[in-house]
Amino acid sequence: MTAETTPETTKPSVLFVCVHNAGRSQMAAAYLQHLAGGRIEVRSAGSAPADTVNPAAVEAMAEEGIDISANQPKVLSEQAVKDSDVVITMGCGDACPFFPGKRYEDWKLDDPAGRGVEGVRPIRDEIKTRIQQLITELLPAESTAN
CATH of the domain at 77: 3.40.50.2300
92 is catalytic: yes
Active-site entry in 56, 92, 131, 134: 92
Q: Where are the beta strands (DSSP E) in 4-113?
A: 13-17, 41-45, 86-89, 103-106
Catalytic residue among 15, 18, 35, 60: 18
What is the band of 1 on the pLDDT scale with cuts at 50, 70, 90? very low
pTM of the full structure: 0.88
Instruction: Kindly state whether residue 73 falls inside one of the protein's structural domains.
Output: yes
User: Of 8-12, 117-121, 130-134, which range is least confident?
Assistant: 8-12
CA pair distance 15, 146, nearest whole angstrom: 21
Among residues 96, 127, 135, 138, the one annotated as catalytic is 96
Asked, for residue 136, whether it belongs to a domain, the answer is yes
Decide if 5 is inside a domain: no
**pLDDT tens digits, 34-92:** 999 999 999 999 989 999 999 999 999 999 999 999 999 999 999 999 999 999 998 76
Helices (H) and strands (E) in the chain, counts: 4, 4
Domain extent, residue 48, equals: 13-140
Whether 40 is catalytic is no
| Known catalytic membership, residue 79 | no
Specify the number of domains making up the chain: 1
